[in-house]
Chains A and B, each alone.
Chain A
């Protein structure tokens, strides 16, 4: 088929992965086409995922703060609890974000095609618009960044009315009184905690013993404490045997015989890669067992002209990671190798409270460095800023090697954890010893002080282990920390 237009790079999908790939490619002087099947650019991240869910979260937190301080400010909350009211800021946030992305694309000179892409062969893509107009594009290289969609287990009749998924939950018109959440991953935990903060009776169920199994148990323990304090309930080690809308409520029967009734249900049991309409069979691209696209460390597929980035290649399925993968794929295409493969990925979970981690977990650290690793902890009730801001139930856990020097991992649960984690990330990336937090000045009062307290905790254990007296300066710091 003769192509209508020729490009150096064709990017399919305008989510974070596609966007950053396109940006990097145009910056490198390549002629770029971006194909997007929705009517606006931005992807799941902007329209159905990260940004809308965080907008709802902000509203929930604001309402909670206002409620908490209602007597101080002589303030009364409006009774109006239509979900759209809570998301009122979303339209303007989305508008400015998509405008920004479009401007960015205009500036860099990428050409946007709104339509559905499918492969004709390994360098040719057919774009079909909503009206049925067909355009054939040819590219020397093609980046697949088509993202993912919620997985609907066969046995659960998602109707988007009573039984919802993470796409339809946001257009719910009112807050239900009760909500069953099936799943215990990031999306399930985020929505479960947000809705319970808003006064919804949330029951979360999953086959795992605790939510967010990949996070440190101490952190998820704090998360669960908080969740249950707001009336949430977690039922672990169970599967849903049947789910039905009984005409009035959602009725869930668990495999332990328990029956749950709720106004609504959220199904958050993983995501599926968007590969079907791409006609990948015409390209020789190999798929993984779960339908994701297989790639090597440079994001190149089994067909050399085709790369894939973002959710479509599978976990960790984060906007932050997808962006970096997009950039790196282009760098590989233009022969500019990226420094190192991405080994350090911070995980941010915007549940209430936030959870975040970087580097090794305690279990991984024990496996790699032995049982003598040293762990330092700081509880936010020891941190002045935590007391002031009412963030008392958080904690920071720092893991070091057995010498008490090399930082192996940092794990935080508290409001602000997703920002705070970057301090630890930079320390790990720069190979700093834990002493960097003792020898330098950190602002006071800040939550960042928790790094110092955890580092002091490690330093104390280190010297106890070496049965040495602490250096006088460190002893003084510990005394000071206790005074604070």
Chain B
């Protein structure tokens, strides 16, 4: 009788391996090599200031989440939990932040994203656009923007992790999935992975909730508005990156616009912030 693994399709084999990988806590986010080298050179430069390091940390989904995680680990934590990047920068200081950022940058096998580098770069770019739009949405609603930026940046954290896991498992099993199969696994698993990562990494409660609930914001047990704003920010992020795929009229009819009480002119205002958001993405993109 053939063993079960042999009868499974490559997609199922990869999916199963990922499920067990996730169970074992194998949730590393890939870091773009360029970020690693920038952090490295910045923290070696005596002239560099905290502001620059702060900017860099804000620019990358992976660095951001790892900084939060490590800053809250038993080794570094000195009292209250660190729930925002800005707070991490001011509380931990340049040297420590540099150490953490370098550790993070060098941790993942960065040069080995298994052929998904381009996709991961796109995902991170979208996360950055969602973060920048989150900031605009919060400003318009006269709510604090710091948390909303992070919600946008980390909402899709499950996708690059998933791609990285696929890359690793493909190598281990010596199989190769096509683009469609990869997309299938990512879309089936990214949400669970993101939720688990947010919990495992002990990210702030607001991030745990929005990362999981942004697509179903009305069902969020708390931070409903923040989840809805995250949903809208990632939607606008997609629109900014691929305007041709969206009909603005349809976009303006998305129920989230009403949920957040954005009038037509408020929405037009948000659309009009596209160039500013683009500039933020361009400035932060590495």
Pick from B54, B222, B259: contact of A247, CB under 8 Å: B54
Known contacts A82-B205, A84-B205, A247-B51; decide if A174 and B139 are in contact (CB<8 Å): no
Q: Which residues of A, 76-123, contact B by the 8 Å Cβ criterion?
A: 79-82, 84-85, 91, 116
Known contacts A84-B206, A177-B91, A263-B90; decide if A168 and B142 are in contact (CB<8 Å): yes
CB-based contact B144/A172 at 8 Å: yes
CB-based contact A160/B263 at 8 Å: no
CB-based contact A38/B144 at 8 Å: no
CB-based contact A171/B144 at 8 Å: yes
Asked if B55 is at the interface of the complex by the 8 Å CB criterion, the answer is yes
Name which of B81, B91, B263 has the most chain A CB atoms within 10 A of its CB. Answer: B263
Could you give, for residues 162-187 of chain A, a 1 whenever the CB lies within 8 Å of some chain B CB and a 0 otherwise? 10110111111111110000000000
Interface of B is mostly: helix
Pick from A84, A116, A130, A164: contact of B257, CB under 8 Å: A130
CB-based contact A248/B55 at 8 Å: no
Asked if A132 is at the interface of the complex by the 8 Å CB criterion, the answer is yes
CB-based contact B146/A130 at 8 Å: no
A residues within 8 A CB of B81? 79-82
Q: How many residues of A contact B (CB 8 A)?
A: 37
Asked if A131 is at the interface of the complex by the 8 Å CB criterion, the answer is yes
B residues within 8 A CB of A161? 135, 144-146, 149
CB-based contact A175/B138 at 8 Å: no
Complex alpha-carbon distance, A329 and B206, angstroms: 44
Complex alpha-carbon distance, A159 and B86, angstroms: 14
Asked if A246 is at the interface of the complex by the 8 Å CB criterion, the answer is yes
Chain A: CB-nearest residue to B224? A91
Complex alpha-carbon distance, A130 and B145, angstroms: 23
A residues within 8 A CB of B253? 131
Asked if B23 is at the interface of the complex by the 8 Å CB criterion, the answer is no
Chain B: CB-nearest residue to A115? B263
Asked if A39 is at the interface of the complex by the 8 Å CB criterion, the answer is yes
Pick from A39, A82, A131, A132: contact of B204, CB under 8 Å: A82
Known contacts A82-B204, A160-B139, A263-B90; decide if A173 and B83 are in contact (CB<8 Å): yes
Name which of A38, A168, A170 has the most chain B CB atoms within 10 A of its CB. Answer: A168
Asked if B2 is at the interface of the complex by the 8 Å CB criterion, the answer is no
Q: Which residues of B, 240-286, contact A by the 8 Å Cβ criterion?
A: 253, 257-259, 261-264
Known contacts A79-B81, A91-B222; decide if A249 and B87 are in contact (CB<8 Å): no
Pick from B90, B262, B263: contact of A249, CB under 8 Å: B90
Q: Lowest 9 A-B CB distances belong to which pairs?
A: A247-B51, A167-B142, A171-B144, A173-B147, A171-B143, A161-B145, A81-B80, A174-B83, A39-B261
CB-defined A-B contacts under 8 Å, sample of 10: A39-B259, A81-B80, A82-B81, A82-B83, A84-B205, A160-B138, A161-B145, A168-B144, A248-B49, A263-B86
Residues on B lying within 8 angstroms of A by beta carbon are: 49-52, 54-55, 79-84, 86-87, 89-91, 135, 138-139, 142-147, 149, 204-206, 222-223, 253, 257-259, 261-264
